[in-house]
Chains A and B, each alone.
Chain A
Amino acid sequence: MKPSDKSWERLVAAARRAPPAGDEAAPFGFSTRVAALAFEQRQAPPALFARTALRAAAVAGLLAAAAVALNFSAIKGAFDDDPASAAPDDPIAEVVDLGS
C-alpha cells in the first residue's frame, strides 16, 4: 500500500471518531409542516383544475363547431373568388386592374 493510502486511512479513522453532527430527532414543528405540505400537494387542486379545464375545452369546441355551422354560407362566400363580387370602386380592384 502506498504511503498516501495509509495517511488517508488514518485521516478517515480519525473522522469516524467525531461525535454525531447533532440531534437526529425532527425539529419542533417539522413533521407537522411536512405532513401538511404533503397532503396539500396530494389534494384536489391539480385534479380539479384538470377536470374543469377539460370540460371548458369540450364546451369551447362545441361552441366553435356551432358557430361555424351557423355561419357556414357566409364563411364559404368569403373564400369564393368571384370578380363580380368586387365593388367597382374598390381601390384594390382598381390597382389590380392597372397592373394587368
Chain B
Amino acid sequence: MLYTYSGLILFAPLLAFVIIIFGTRMGDLLSRPRVASSPAHGDSHGGADAHGSNSHAVDSHDAHGDDHGEHAQDDDDDPKVPSLSGWAKASAYVGIVIMALACIYSWVLLFSSLSDPSSLPTQGVDVFSYTWASFGSVNYTIAFHLDRLAITMLTVVTTVSLLVQIYSRGYMSNSAGYARFYSYLSLFAFSMLVIVFAQNFLVIFIGWELVGLSSYLLIGFWINKRAKPDEQRPSPASAQLQAFVTNRVGDVGFIIGIMILFTTFGTFDFSTLFRLAPTMDKTLLTIAMICIFCGAIGKSAQLPLHVWLPSAMEGPTPVSALIHAATMVAAGVYMVARTFPLFAAADPAALGVVAWVGGITAFFAATVALVQIDFKRVLAFSTISQLGYMFVGLGVADNAGAGMFHLFTHAFFKALLFLGAGSVIDALHHATHKETQDMRLMGGLASRMPITAITWLIATLAISGFPFLSGFYSKDNIIGMTLEKGDIALYVITLLTAGLTAFYMLRAYIQAFGGKDGKVLGLWGGTYRGAGKPHESPLTMTIPLMILALFAIFAGYWTGFFGYVTPGAPPLNIGTMLSSVDTWVGVVVAFIGLGWAWFLYTRVDAAKLHAAVENNGFLRAIHRFLFNRWYIDDLYNWIITYIVLGGIAFLAQLFDTYVIDGIVNGVAGLVNIFGRDLRRVETGKVQSYMIGFFGGVALLAVLVFVLIFTRG
C-alpha cells in the first residue's frame, strides 16, 4: 500500500511546477507595479524573464528601475526586486512544502522497507503504468517502478532538493526571478524522479532529456549575465548551450545502445531485458552497453564529455549543489546501476570500459582541480573526479553497491561543499557588491563565517577520506575493491587521485577560510584579501549546511547499504576494512595530501610559492597545462571551429547553396523557361491558331491512316 502510492512522490513536484508556473508566478508578475522604463539603463535587462513570461517587459523595467540603491554597482546582471511579493514567497512555500512531503514519504519508505523487508518484494512494485501507444506486438508504455535501489536514490534526491530549496530562500532572496527559480527546481525534481522510478529505457530517456532541459534552464537562469573571459568564465547563455549540446552528443550513443537492444528484443522494459540479455550475442550486447554508457559519459561529465560541468558553474550556486553535484550528474551512475544486470551479462570489457573511463577521468579532474583559482571550479572538477570514482566502483564490482554507496555519501558532502561555497559567495557579494568567486580575494573567512567554515571543513575531510567520516567508507571501499580485483593500474590511479583530492580540497579550504596567520595552525581565520566585511549567512542558509554536515559524518555508517541495494550482497564490514592494510595505505596517502596542502598554503608565503612556480620552467609548464584543463577545451574549440564549422558545416553550406538551392532554383528556372517559350504560342493572331489547328488535323489524319490501313 505504502509502496504502491509512492507514485505521489513522482507527481508531487510536477504539481508544484504547474502550480508555480501557472499560478503563483503569474500572480507575482501581475502584481508588480507598472512603471515607465528608466532611459539611463537602456534595455539591457529586457529579456531577463523571457522564459514563458508574457509581461517581461513590465517586470524587468520596473525591477531595474527600483534598484538604484545599494545594488546599483552590482555586476551580476541579475534583476533585483527590493522585496519579494507575497506571490513569489508563495511559490517558494509551494515548492518547499511539496518537496518536504515527498522527502518525508521517501524516508518513511526507506525505514519501512528496512524494518520490514518482506513488505517490499525484491523485484519491487509497479507504481504506475500507462500504455502510450501500441503498434502490433510492440507496446510503448510509460511504466514507473519502485524497488530498493530506487528508494535509496529517492531519499538522496528528495533530501538534497528540499535542503537546496530551503537554502534558495536565502540565496535568491531579492532576485526578480524568484518564482521562476522555484518552478524550475520543481521541474528538475520531477525529471530526476522520472529517471529514478523508470522501469524501461523509454521512460529513462524521457527523464534523461527532461533533466537536461531543467539543467539548461537553470544554468542559464541569469540569462543576461555577461561572460568574463579573463576569469575563464563563459556567459550563462553559452554555458547552458554547451551543457545541453554536450549532453546530446552522449545521447547519440545512448540511443544507439537502446536501439540495439530494442531491435534485438522488441522491448524497452528492464525486467524483460534482464531476463533475456544472456541469450543475446555477447559482442552485440557489449557494444550496446558501451553505447549506453556513452549516455552516462555525457550526463555524468566524464572524459571526454566533461567540458560542460565547469561552465555549468555559471548557474546560481543552489543549482550547482542540486544538479551538478548531487543528483543530475549522478543520473548516469544511477542508470548504469539500474541496468547493471545487462552490463554483467555482457563481456567484462563493458564494465572494464566503465571502470577505466571513470579512473582516468578521476585522475584528470583531480590534476586540473589542483591549480584552479575559482572556488566553484575546484568543486566542479572535484565532482567530475568523484563521479569517476563511482564509475570505477561500478566497474570493478559484481553489483551496483559500491558505486551507489559512494553516490549516496558523495551527494551529501558535495551538496554541502557547494552550498557552503554559495554561502561564501553570497556573503562576499553583499560585502563587496561584486560577484567574485576568485579564491585569491578570499582568505580568513573562518573567523567571520564560523558555521560555514566548520561545515565546509567537515565536508573537506569527508571527501578526502579522513577516517571515520562517510567519504572514508565509500571511497576507500572502492580503492580496496580495485586491489581485490587485481587491477593494479587502476588501484594506483585511484590511490593517487585520493591523495590529489585531499590536497586540492584542503588547499581550497585554506585559501578561503584560513591563511598563514590563522589560528589552529592556520586553519581558522587569518587575513582577508578581499574588500568589505563579510559576515555569516542567515539561518535559512546555514541550517541546511548543518543538516548536510550531519549526513556527511554519519551516512557512511549504513553498512547494510550493500545488502539493501543488492539483496544477498554482504554488508560493509567495517572491522575487516579497518584491519586491512590497503585501507590504511589510503589513509596515509590522504594524510600526505592534506599535510602537503597544509604546509604549502599555511607555512609558505604565497608570493614565494608563486615565484617558485613561475621561475621553474618545468613547474610553470605543468601549471599552464593543468590550468588550461589539459587544453581539452581548446582542442574542442579548435575541432569545432576548423573541422565542424570550417569543414563539415562549410561543405554542407556549399552543398546547400549549390546543390539543393540549385535544384530548387533550377526547377523554378526550368518552369520559367518553359513558360517563357510556351507563352509564345499565344500570339493572339487567329491565323497562327489556325496553323496549329490544321496541323493537328493533318497529324491525326496521318495517324488514322497509319493505324487503320496497316491494321487491315
Q: Is chain B found bound to chain A in the same assembly?
A: no
Q: Which residues of A contact B (CB under 8 A)?
A: none
Binding site for A on B (CB under 8 A): none
